[in-house]
A = this chain, B = another copy of it.
């Protein structure tokens, strides 16, 4: 797995985990429909608690990014990358607004910010194929 957990981060473990899975999907490391490791498997691979992995998976399920099935295991949703949740645009708008506000406070210009976004998008989608 491509996942790296930082035990000393401010961010909670389950949040790091779900963010890295999102990153992995965006980057193309994980394809729609692909299997994810079992809760137990990933927990032991990362050396963290089973409940922590379960919590991360549940958050992703609630976001519609993965599917969890008792018998068939955990899979990346087939609709990921194409299908957005009902209110996602509103949520995203709020998150971007926060980030842009903060950026402006630190003297980041619009062009600079947008170039950063563009570069990050290209870096992610370039490898998705």
Contact = CB atoms under 8 A, between A and B. Distances in A.
Interface residues of A, number: 55
A100 B124 contact: yes
B93 A120 contact: yes
Protomer copies:
4
A100 to B, nearest CB: 5
Interface string A52-68: 00000000000111010
A114 interface: yes
A96 interface: yes
Interface of A: 7-8, 12, 19, 22-23, 25-27, 63-65, 67, 69-70, 72, 77, 79-89, 92-93, 95-108, 110, 113-114, 116-118, 120-122, 124-125
